[in-house]
Structure 1
Amino acid sequence: MLILGAGDVRSVLDGAEQRVLAAVRESYELHALGRTSVPHSVFLRFPADTRNRIIALPAYLGSGTAVAGVKWVSSFPDNVAQGLDRASAAIILNSMRTGVPEALLEASAISAKRTAASAALAASTLLSVNPSTGVSLVGCGLINFEVLRYLRAVFPSLDTATVYDLDRGRSESFATKARSAWPTLAVDVVEQPADALAAQRLVSLATTATVPHLDTAHCRPGTLLLHLSLRDLTVASVRSSVNIVDDADHVCRAATSLHLAEQETGSRDFIASSLGEILVSDVPYVTDEQRPIVFSPFGLGCLDLAVADLVRREAVVRGLGTRLDDFLPSGAQVFA
């Protein structure tokens, strides 16, 4: 068993934005081509506790070197008030030859960066004709900081960020950190979510909301909303927008805004396409300049596997991690 801790994982992923973007893009394309297996995520919830959850995301990715495994990710929002990360995660990768578990990776960075890469890939694909120079970030946590990092990787001209969080202190801390990371980036902290929605035509929503609380009335025509937290937008806003998803079966469940829209309408006709379908079509996406475009990614387990496999292979080359040769029973075949 190869064990890769947080430091090992970050040493591979830091500065590897283009490699992560390429891995995520390939995963989306393989999914659109039917070369993945992504069962529905399993939500572990707790009696009398509506906020906390732990989710299992099993998946198979049929790339050149096939990979299978599972991500086990928790979300405990009250951690933030205690100075802890809201989410924590681990990934197990299994051998496709014998089925035995062969690698265990600390996965908080993998999860955050694949989410950010997914958002940036969607933005660069859906705004390919008219790239963005600014972004509004609603929710000032780790995910939106990584989104900002990856958006700058796909939009080198992006020079402005408007930020909002319910906690003004978090907004200010986020702005200070962003200015330190990118000294040429102009960062503006606003007082209301409506101000953020109106400020830029590219918006990233990464909050801990459990019920819809935002509408698109304040957005500019043709605004692209990266609806990463999935439960921010009202049903009316979803229905009046052009909706792009990662996978309709996955995103229309667990009380997401799109699930609520499906329940209200009795169909999924409000979903225009998936990102993978657009990528494999090889035809540049033409933005609707009058209606908002909403990208709602449930977060497919095959994306996590793609990034985890990238990390594992690079770690083996560099000699990173800890090997437990006696973790598996005698006779089990391990990754080499």
Structure 2
Amino acid sequence: MFDFDIVTGKAVREILLNSRSTVLDIVERAYVAHERGDSVNPDSYFLRFPDKPDSRIIALPAFLGDDVQLAGIKWIASFPKNTASGLPRASAVLVLNDYETGYPVACLEAAGISAARTAASAAVAARTLRPGGYPGTTIAVVGGGVIARTICDYLHAAGCAPDSYVVHDIDEASGRALADHIRITQGRPASFTADRDTALAADTVVFATTALEPYVTTPFRADQVVLNISLRDLAPEVVLAADNILDDVEHCLKAGTSPHLAEQLSGSRSFVTGTLAGVLNGGVTLTPGRPVIFSPFGLGVLDLAVGAHVLTQARADGTALAVPDFFGETSRW
């Protein structure tokens, strides 16, 4: 009843490293459960700072039913200037609460969980939105950070196997490091390009940047799949010229995302084709002859689903650290 565990980043990393295929299935199930209403996923709450406009700390509360039956909250900081000092941009914790009593049951280091659920959502979308597979195609990755690296790992785990990768980043060292990582871990060609247009011409384009406003203004070709993970790279006109698949319509059309700007420009939501879960369950079909853009705002239910898996594994393998007497009172009187 009053057990409380800590799961460290090292333990989280090892568990996730050995369960990518499982995480892909977990994320897909969570999307489907959310679509049918077996979840509560309120708006995310943004803490911003007047003297640090590029930085924020976000709270993502959620409840997921299905086979998880946990509530919780992720508290994640994004401070892009950390990278200039060699530090990761993001840091996070995830608190999980028992649904029966409301008591917290664990606190997990969650930067790795957040990266994994984000990458898994991109990979689930990639294999769903290009059902013909990836032989004969090129995947471009715009952005060379931790999220981009993790997305590439999960694309590989999902069986998305292109003939080659091309990486673009304004920081050449980061871009080349990601290309090296792909060659080493996947054994397939990967090159760096300083020319953004070369990357944008690839069959599948993955955006994993820290962009605050749109800079891509040319519409994509009919056969392209775009994973708009960083959400703010695309001008609204680009969004309006494509089929648009979101993770959750209400969540994605806010906070100045590219789909939000498209809604403001067009005055309606008619450009939204549907949700990824809708495509997965057959309720949403894509329009032939149009590019497809997947824009996931990032749902707290995914953090819960992946966090629940990590906690279960950590308890099973003995890497969860029990905190005795965490609660000061364990009876009403």
TM-score relative to the length of structure 2: 0.94
Residue 289 of structure 1 and its aligned partner are, at CA, apart by 4.9
The letter for the 2-side match of 1:25 is E
1:238 is the counterpart of 2:239: yes
Contact 2:139 2:164 in 1 (8 A): yes
Q: Which residue of 2 aligns with 1:170?
A: 174
Residue 221 of structure 1 and its aligned partner are, at CA, apart by 2.5
User: What fraction of aligned residue pairs are identical, expressed as a percent?
Assistant: 41
| SS of residue matched to 2:144 | coil
The letter for the 2-side match of 1:239 is L
Q: Which residue of 2 aligns with 1:257?
A: 258
Residue 65 of structure 1 and its aligned partner are, at CA, apart by 3.7
Q: Which moved more, 1:125-134 or 1:45-54?
A: 125-134
Count the aligned residue pairs: 328
Residue 158 of structure 1 and its aligned partner are, at CA, apart by 2.8
Residue 332 of structure 1 and its aligned partner are, at CA, apart by 6.6
Residue 50 of structure 1 and its aligned partner are, at CA, apart by 1.3
Alignment of 1:198-209 (within 5 A): 198=201, 200-209=202-211
Q: Which residue of 2 aligns with 1:270?
A: 271
Alignment of 1:1-336 (within 5 A): 1-131=4-134, 133-155=137-159, 157-182=161-186, 184-198=187-201, 200-217=202-219, 219-281=220-282, 288-331=287-330
The letter for the 1-side match of 2:330 is G
Contact 1:197 1:216 in 2 (8 A): no
Distance 1:92 1:216, change over 3 A: same
Residue 326 of structure 1 and its aligned partner are, at CA, apart by 1.3
TM-score relative to the length of structure 1: 0.94
1:3-26 Cα shifts (integer Å, max 9, x gaps) = 001011112111211110011011
Q: Which moved more, 1:287-296 or 1:15-24?
A: 287-296
The letter for the 1-side match of 2:10 is G
Distance 1:220 1:56, change over 3 A: same
Contact 2:68 2:308 in 1 (8 A): no
The letter for the 2-side match of 1:316 is R
1:41-97 Cα shifts (integer Å, max 9, x gaps) = 000001232100000000000112411100000100001111000111100001112
Q: For residues 218 and 289 of structure 2, what CA distance do their matches in structure 1 show?
A: 12
Q: For residues 58 and 160 of structure 2, what CA distance do their matches in structure 1 show?
A: 35
Contact 2:71 2:304 in 1 (8 A): yes
User: What is the aligned-residue RMSD (CA, Å)?
Assistant: 1.7
- Structure 2: stretches of 5+ with no match in the other structure: none
Q: Which moved more, 1:147-156 or 1:243-252?
A: 147-156
Q: For residues 201 and 286 of structure 1, what CA distance do their matches in structure 2 show?
A: 20
